[in-house]
């Protein structure tokens, strides 16, 4: 049971050739009753995790990102491990960012939108996750 946690810079959930491994993530294997069977972490500079001796059976592989990252692939992946087989599960994550829209820019938008001067909007933060949610 092995895999890699990587920095999914273009947020597409696919490990692309130009994307780097991600250090600082944790991965665990949980049985169907919710018991943690194995834990790995934090990942090193190669982003890889490895569970060399997991008994055959049904499990969930669960990942936790380092602080400041959000997931671009599911955090929990069900697997059925067969005897003498290797299961590979990779996890994508990307850095959270926030964009500050300053008050002066809000005023410009307000004028452009034809809102009266008496109404004042506050500067606001937009986060990458807001953007993703709006895009859905
Ligand atoms: Ca990608």
Contact 90, 15 (CB under 8 A): yes
Q: What is the pLDDT of residues 121-131, one digit of tens each?
A: 566 665 555 54
Separation of 90 CA from ligand 1 center, angstroms?
12
Separation of 135 CA from ligand 1 center, angstroms?
18
Stated pTM of the model: 0.73
pLDDT of 134 > 60? The answer is no
Separation of 10 CA from ligand 1 center, angstroms?
5
Q: What is the pLDDT of residues 21-51, one digit of tens each?
A: 999 999 999 999 999 999 999 999 999 999 9
| Lowest model confidence (mean pLDDT) among 41-45, 91-95, 114-118, 123-127 | 123-127
Chain mean pLDDT for the chain: 86
CATH number of 2-95: 2.60.40.10
Please state, in angstroms and rounded to a whole number, the distance separating the CA atoms of residues 31 and 59: 5
Prior bond to 42 cis, omega within 30? yes
pLDDT given for residue 131 in this prediction: 47
Separation of 69 CA from ligand 1 center, angstroms?
14
Separation of 31 CA from ligand 1 center, angstroms?
29
Contact 124, 105 (CB under 8 A): no
Bridge partners (DSSP) listed for residue 62: 28, 76
Separation of 59 CA from ligand 1 center, angstroms?
26
Separation of 114 CA from ligand 1 center, angstroms?
40
Separation of 92 CA from ligand 1 center, angstroms?
8
Task: Give me the percent of the chain exceeding a pLDDT of 70.
Answer: 82
Separation of 85 CA from ligand 1 center, angstroms?
27
What are the sequence ranges of the domains in the chain?
2-95, 98-135
Using DSSP's 3-state secondary structure scheme, residue 131 falls into helix
Average pLDDT of the residues in 74-86: 93
């Amino acid at each position: 049971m092995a895999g890699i946690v990587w920095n999914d810079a273009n947020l597409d959930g696919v490990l692309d050739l130009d994307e780097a491994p991600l250090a600082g993530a944790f991965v665990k294997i949980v049985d169907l009753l919710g018991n943690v069977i194995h834990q790995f972490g934090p990942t090193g500079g190669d982003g890889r995790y490895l569970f060399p001796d997991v008994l055959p059976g049904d499990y969930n592989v669960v990942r936790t990102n380092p602080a400041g990252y959000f997931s671009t692939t599911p955090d929990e992946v069900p697997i059925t491990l067969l005897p003498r087989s290797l299961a590979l599960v990779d996890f994508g994550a990307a850095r959270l960012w926030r964009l500050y829209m300053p008050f002066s820019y809000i005023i410009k938008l307000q004028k452009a939108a034809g809102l009266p001067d008496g109404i004042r909007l506050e500067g606001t933060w937009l986060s990458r996750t807001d953007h993703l949610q709006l895009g859905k």
